[in-house]
Amino acid sequence: MKKWLVAVLFLAVLALGACGAGDDNASDDAGTDDSNDGAVETSAGEEVYQSNCASCHGADLSGGAGPSLAQVGSKYSADEIADIVKNGKGSMPALNVAGEDLDALTSWLSEKQ
């Protein structure tokens, strides 16, 4: 019984930690260079990942409390990844990522083959 309670509390802490790590104060200069759209988009996607996903899926996408995302692009399309981020899946909670951040994240993750 105690192990079950500890497991539930651990999962609750992980879920709450994953939901509150966003940084809304990004530099105003980010993304203003139109000549390098791909790199800016990738950088933005990686930043969103580090802020919202890395605590469970690992800073290097290798997994941890959540599964590895190193090859997530070969399993899911960008639209499917967006659906999972917005609505959750299995033990993963829905995340509060939307708009340009969601687009950048799903584009970046869908490239992981």
pLDDT of residue 4: 78
* Per-residue pLDDT at 23 exceeds 60: no
Task: Give the pLDDT confidence of 58-97 residue by residue, as tens digits.
Answer: 999 999 999 999 999 999 999 999 999 999 999 999 999 9
All structural domains of the chain with their residue ranges: 41-113
The domain 41-113 is classified under which CATH number: 3.30.230.10, 1.10.760.10, 3.30.465.10, 3.40.50.2000? 1.10.760.10
1 is in an annotated binding site: no
Angle (CA) 5 87 3, round 5°: 10
Average pLDDT of the chain, as a whole number:
81
57 is in an annotated binding site: yes
In 3D, which of 84, 82, 102, 87 has the Cα closest to residue 41?
A: 102
53 is in an annotated binding site: yes
